[in-house]
Chain A
Amino acid sequence: MTANPTWHLIIDVAECNHCHNCVLAAKDELVGNDFPGYSAPHAAHGPGVIRIERTVRGHGHWVDAAHLPRLCQHCANAPCVAAGQGAVRQRPDGIVIFDPVAAKGRRDLVDACPHGAVVWNEAAQLPQTWFFDAHLLDQGQAAPRCVAVCPTQAIQALKVSDADMAQRAQAEGLRRLQPEHGTQGRVFYRHLHRVDRLRLAGSAIANVQGRPECLEGAEVRLVRDGQVLAQTRSNAFGDFAFDDLPPGAGRLSVHLSHPQAGQAVVATALAQTPVVLGDVLLS
């Protein structure tokens, strides 16, 4: 942690539509271009230093997909800097740079990163990362390239103190990737539950004049040990969903009720995978 302002990113997972513009902007910038002191030309092929990872939850029309842009987290407590012994440095503005000369041959630095953010350039024998377009910021550009090219404005770059950022993260529910590694990354994600938490979805239906109908407006409660964890209402298609549920939540029941259509109770369990209850008939 430093008191001076450092570069941070806020990435909204729910807004990423996997257009890959950030990935391509990084390729455009780094492949075939030499920025002495910052980076040697990156390889044209293979995974780039920004990657998009897909998470799909559920199936049928209850499916949900989210995309997670992965890149160097510019950790305040960076294992790569420690392991680099001079080959990797962190600048006062927080940007972590793998030195294109000193890091030569240091394949070990790929493994030093617990976030999988280091790409090995076989031809150049160099570990390489997304270095926040530091060379452009140093020339006065306001933000790294991924910000302008992102059509949904899912990526925001800001230079603030770690304390201010922590406060903001707290207030807005922003989270780091894999905090268990304790690297104190400076990339924060919004709506990360779309990737690492569970969703439970289903549809309420009722028999009306002998045929099934989607049931709108059913009261749906998620219950554990007699306690209501969350509550929602079914929409015009009878659909309902609970999100941001912790893996391993265990036994749950879903109670549905509707003034005309009656009720239903479904027992389920949340382990490690999302749950699709399917059609639930109220009677």
Chain B
Amino acid sequence: PDGCTRYTMLTNGGPLFVHVRQGRIVRLTPIELGADDAASWQITARGRVFRPRRLATVASHALAMKSAVYSDQRILYPMKRVDFDPAGERHPANRGKSGYVRISWDEALDMVSQEILRQRRVHGPGAMTITHGSHHQWGNVGYYLSSLLRFGNLVGFTRVAANPDSWEGWYWGAMHHWGQSQRVGIAGNYGTVEDCLQNAELMVFWSSDPESTRGAYSAHEGTQRRQWARELGIEFVHIDPHFNPTAQWLGGRWVPIRPGTDAALAQAIMQVWVAEDLYDKAYVAAHTTGFEAWRAHLMGEDDGCPKTPEWQEAETGVPAKDVRALARLMARKKLYLAAGANGGGFGGAGRGATGAQWARCMVMLMAMRGLGQPGVNMGNLDSGTPLDHEFYFPGYADGGISGELNWNGNAVHNYQKMPHVITVNPVRQLVPKQHFPEAITQGHASGYLWDGLATELQFAPFQYPMPGYSPIHMIYKYGGSWFSTLTESARMEAAYRHESIEFVVNQSIWMEGETQFADLILPACTQFERFDIGEWCSGGGYLPHGFNNVNHRVIALQHQCIEPLGESKSDYEIFSLILQRLGLGAMFTEGCSELDWCKRVFDSSDVAKRISWAEFCKKGYYVVPAEAEGLRPAVQWRWFAEGRPKDIAEAMPLPSQWSGPMGQGLQTPSGQLEFMPETLQRHDPHNPERPVLNRYIPSWEGRRSAVAERFPLQLVATHSRYSFHTNVDGKGGFLEDIEDHRVRIEGHPYWVLRLHPEDAAARGIRHHSLVKVFNDRGAVICAADVSPLMAPGVVKSWESSAQYQPVEVNGERLDVGGSLNVLTSSRPAISGTHSMAPNACMVQVAAWVGEAPHHC
């Protein structure tokens, strides 16, 4: 109406209309569905009818994106480090110190393509590694699992083997009790919204803050459903060291707990159930194995120590009487256990030394309650809507244009429907992500596989370097998040400056964290400046049917809304220009522009059966009609509880992974919920850190550790509510002015650290004053948020600041950017795994006196 053209966009935080005038984004608004969009589902529960809003909700990081697009931290042209000379002295030790000069695209592209060839000639395959973040701007074409992977395969690269960061605890622990390997050890959520609203009486949120983590990609779609639950009188409990935003708003009983001690609380709950005869004996008898040993452990028959509420009190800080009350309530009411962001997985409690103990307990708790019976399940109402699960549109991990057949869902999804040139990376060498710095600085590292195809794959160790391949001499870095998302992250400085690293190229949209350590910087553009296509909240891959978080399936053409800023180019175009110089241009593009690829994806999907490409482009989006009432997905686990063949839509486990006839029982060797997991018994029976019997083992970095004398506060750095990890944080954007995210002090937006008034008073710390958070690994300056919303003795911040800004004050190195992971340990959570445990971290906090350190 005001002269704007309205485009459509999908983001990590929901769909958007993008209003553009004269080549500039004027505003971003949520997509409000019209009468011509498909009707919504409705749920009848306890005599009431619930219908979702006719609108696609948005998250803060989506609404703030305009400020990221027009950030003054955008990289607008290619740049070379001033003292880097590819033909002469390269000065690797100066990375992160020396400045940059502008160069032309031709120079930049020549430099990177020649270096790729030189590395191959001089060192051989594997010399180049590609490292990137886990989250990308939305879309199936431009995604890293799509274009970047296609590029990587065509040139060959050493793959960074990621640890299952989102799924820690579940992958290494819970999976052994219930299978679920293709979901990385967590539950699916089919049919749970309806079941929860109709049947549940109590929801226990355990390390779960869905108003902050928002189903990862589904914005606030679950918010209204939790309002319905509240209206229906479902009771709520929140077990978290933080009275988190969900708890603050939804209401219910807060059970403040010390981080990393959850397994003790969970065992005490189960002990009460046994002692007071409150568990579902018939279910345990029919659907589980190994209970007798577990029961004996709870009652202390094996070790003389009954796991009573009194026993756990010294660990958790939760009074014994509250534990008994909680245990009885959980037994008396039909229980939805909401563990982590997914409801049946994730959770900051899983990303600590005791994460696997906790996740294992979550499954065992539900085994004792009768998982899958009406109203007895896992979920936090963020997923499991009654949508059409058969209508096909690929998720971002389903292959895209990659041509890759192993490291995403292409072989089973996209490739089948959209044949494209297959690409293969012949380099089998892997470098473990959490030990990447040591791989460079010490020349070797080892890890364990994250591969969800089968339960057993996680036991396979791998070594870097791999015989036959070159160690890494070149880093192709995409984005720059690791200083704030990798554990003990200042290690990356030494890695970047190591003499063995001859070349670092960073393809980045903004100047952030790691970008400043590159020799050559290639300016990529944002998703508003190129074409893509996608479905909201559809991850695919390990998140099959992830779209069932949202109330309406929205599939959209992600228009190019504006021209790329400055000389920036889309990632796809950058790759194709490099590959042209290597004679691989046509192999990469197949003659297709990004828009052509969008059309190919469209044609391969079921949307093409409903509307024409022209209509789709014009309207911008398509809403998939909700499932007809009689055809709605069956409830997760119900089939198992009722002893029927599996009847939910996920095609897992793989045929050979059923121990019994296909479709019957779980993926575990017994086909049952196993209290004493056979896969651990078989393959890792004597691991003291992951015993077959899931005993409580205090954290290796916790209140009982020796370091606690000097560093008495427990730090949890969890997922940031307002940004999506580093995405849309900092960079002069709007989020800098949300005092719950950053607090501006003397002009600098400091990252926030939450602490209890007693802990603050003991240290002379005032609300919104500067504090130094430190331990032997480093120091970070934050702004204090003092309130009783934190449990005493615990401080909470967020991982994933986009900024890493080390300064030196009186000989001490301090980060004023907010990268709390400078302080966390890089030790795996448990031996025999490749995992991260950042929430096992002891620190001290001190008031910062004098001038704000960012001036230094």
Report A's interface with B, CB cutoff 8 A.
15-21, 23-25, 27-29, 31-33, 44-48, 52, 54, 56, 58-61, 63, 65, 135, 139-141, 145, 148-149, 151-153, 205, 211-214, 216, 235-239
List the A side residues contacting B321 at CB < 8 Å: 205, 211-214, 238
List the B side residues contacting A56 at CB < 8 Å: 787-789
B55 contacts partner chain A, Cβ-Cβ < 8 Å? yes
17 extra interchain contacts, Cβ-Cβ under 8 A, other than A32-B66, A61-B255, A214-B324? A17-B248, A19-B220, A21-B60, A21-B63, A21-B220, A24-B734, A28-B27, A28-B28, A28-B63, A28-B67, A65-B248, A65-B787, A149-B63, A152-B223, A213-B325, A236-B325, A236-B329
A120→B479 CA distance, assembly (Å): 37
List the A side residues contacting B28 at CB < 8 Å: 28
B102 contacts partner chain A, Cβ-Cβ < 8 Å? no
Given known pairs A31-B67, A61-B254, A61-B256, the reply for A20 and B787 (CB within 8 Å) is: no
Q: Name the distance in Å between A144's Cβ and chain B's nearest Cβ.
A: 12
* 8 A Cβ contacts from B315-370 to A: 319-322, 324-326, 328-329
Given known pairs A44-B732, A145-B29, the reply for A151 and B219 (CB within 8 Å) is: yes
CB-contact partner of A149 in B58, B245, B319, under 8 A? B58
Contact present for A63 and B243 (CB under 8 Å): yes
List the A side residues contacting B320 at CB < 8 Å: 211-212
Contact present for B324 and A63 (CB under 8 Å): no
Contact present for B248 and A33 (CB under 8 Å): no
B36 contacts partner chain A, Cβ-Cβ < 8 Å? no
Which residue on chain B has the smallest CB distance to residue A17? B249
CB-contact partner of B58 in A21, A135, A139, under 8 A? A21
Contact present for A152 and B249 (CB under 8 Å): yes
List the B side residues contacting A214 at CB < 8 Å: 321-322, 324-325
List the A side residues contacting B736 at CB < 8 Å: 45
List the B side residues contacting A48 at CB < 8 Å: 737
Q: Name the distance in Å between B2's Cβ and chain A's nearest Cβ.
A: 6
B57 contacts partner chain A, Cβ-Cβ < 8 Å? yes
Contact present for B253 and A239 (CB under 8 Å): yes
Given known pairs A24-B64, A214-B321, the reply for A151 and B57 (CB within 8 Å) is: yes
CB-contact partner of B738 in A20, A205, A211, A216, under 8 A? A20
A91→B58 CA distance, assembly (Å): 32
Q: Name the distance in Å between B18's Cβ and chain A's nearest Cβ.
A: 11
A95→B312 CA distance, assembly (Å): 58
Q: Name the distance in Å between B259's Cβ and chain A's nearest Cβ.
A: 17
A238→B326 CA distance, assembly (Å): 11
Contact present for A19 and B29 (CB under 8 Å): no
Where chain B touches its partner, the secondary structure class is mixed
List the A side residues contacting B220 at CB < 8 Å: 19, 21, 151-152
A29→B757 CA distance, assembly (Å): 37
Which residue on chain B has the smallest CB distance to residue A45? B737
Contact present for A19 and B60 (CB under 8 Å): yes
B32 contacts partner chain A, Cβ-Cβ < 8 Å? yes
List the A side residues contacting B735 at CB < 8 Å: 24
Contact present for B243 and A65 (CB under 8 Å): yes
List the A side residues contacting B499 at CB < 8 Å: none
A235→B326 CA distance, assembly (Å): 11
Contact present for B324 and A29 (CB under 8 Å): no
A273→B28 CA distance, assembly (Å): 42
Q: Name the distance in Å between B841's Cβ and chain A's nearest Cβ.
A: 24
Given known pairs A17-B245, A63-B243, the reply for A29 and B27 (CB within 8 Å) is: yes
Q: Mark B783-803, 1 if CB is under 8 A from A, else 0.
A: 000011100000000000000
Report B's interface with A, CB cutoff 8 A.
1-2, 26-30, 32, 53, 55, 57-60, 63-64, 66-67, 70, 211, 219-220, 223-224, 227, 243, 245-246, 248-249, 253-256, 310, 319-322, 324-326, 328-329, 722, 732, 734-738, 740, 744, 757, 787-789
Which residue on chain A has the smallest CB distance to residue B24? A32
List the B side residues contacting A16 at CB < 8 Å: 249
A-B contact pairs, 27 of them (CB 8 A): A17-B211, A18-B245, A23-B738, A24-B60, A27-B64, A28-B67, A28-B734, A32-B70, A44-B732, A60-B788, A63-B788, A65-B787, A139-B2, A141-B1, A145-B29, A148-B29, A149-B30, A149-B58, A151-B220, A151-B224, A152-B227, A152-B249, A212-B320, A216-B325, A237-B322, A238-B325, A239-B253
Contact present for B26 and A33 (CB under 8 Å): yes
Q: Name the distance in Å between B470's Cβ and chain A's nearest Cβ.
A: 47
The list of the 5 closest CB pairs from A to B, nearest first, reads: A151-B220, A17-B249, A214-B325, A59-B788, A24-B63
Contact present for B2 and A27 (CB under 8 Å): no
A24→B722 CA distance, assembly (Å): 10
Q: Name the distance in Å between A173's Cβ and chain B's nearest Cβ.
A: 18
Contact present for A20 and B740 (CB under 8 Å): yes
List the A side residues contacting B246 at CB < 8 Å: 17
Contact present for A237 and B253 (CB under 8 Å): yes
List the A side residues contacting B329 at CB < 8 Å: 236-237
CB-contact partner of A20 in B29, B32, B60, B322, under 8 A? B60
List the B side residues contacting A237 at CB < 8 Å: 253, 322, 325-326, 329
Given known pairs A28-B27, A139-B2, the reply for A63 and B254 (CB within 8 Å) is: yes
Which residue on chain B has the smallest CB distance to residue A22? B63
Contact present for B253 and A61 (CB under 8 Å): yes
A282→B585 CA distance, assembly (Å): 80
Q: Name the distance in Å between A109's Cβ and chain B's nearest Cβ.
A: 22
CB-contact partner of B734 in A17, A27, A149, under 8 A? A27
List the A side residues contacting B324 at CB < 8 Å: 213-214
CB-contact partner of B789 in A63, A135, A213, under 8 A? A63
A239→B249 CA distance, assembly (Å): 18
List the A side residues contacting B30 at CB < 8 Å: 148-149
List the B side residues contacting A148 at CB < 8 Å: 29-30, 32, 55
Q: Name the distance in Å between B48's Cβ and chain A's nearest Cβ.
A: 17
A216→B732 CA distance, assembly (Å): 52
A212→B310 CA distance, assembly (Å): 11
Contact present for A15 and B253 (CB under 8 Å): no
List the B side residues contacting A211 at CB < 8 Å: 310, 320-321
Q: Name the distance in Å between A241's Cβ and chain B's nearest Cβ.
A: 11
CB-contact partner of A60 in B1, B256, B325, under 8 A? B256
List the B side residues contacting A65 at CB < 8 Å: 243, 248, 787, 789
A278→B1 CA distance, assembly (Å): 58
List the A side residues contacting B58 at CB < 8 Å: 21, 149
Which residue on chain B has the smallest CB distance to residue A154? B249
A135→B211 CA distance, assembly (Å): 31
Contact present for B734 and A44 (CB under 8 Å): yes
Q: Name the distance in Å between A220's Cβ and chain B's nearest Cβ.
A: 17
List the A side residues contacting B245 at CB < 8 Å: 17-19
A48→B737 CA distance, assembly (Å): 8
A205→B249 CA distance, assembly (Å): 27
Q: Name the distance in Å between B103's Cβ and chain A's nearest Cβ.
A: 30
A237→B238 CA distance, assembly (Å): 13
Which residue on chain A has the smallest CB distance to residue B1? A139
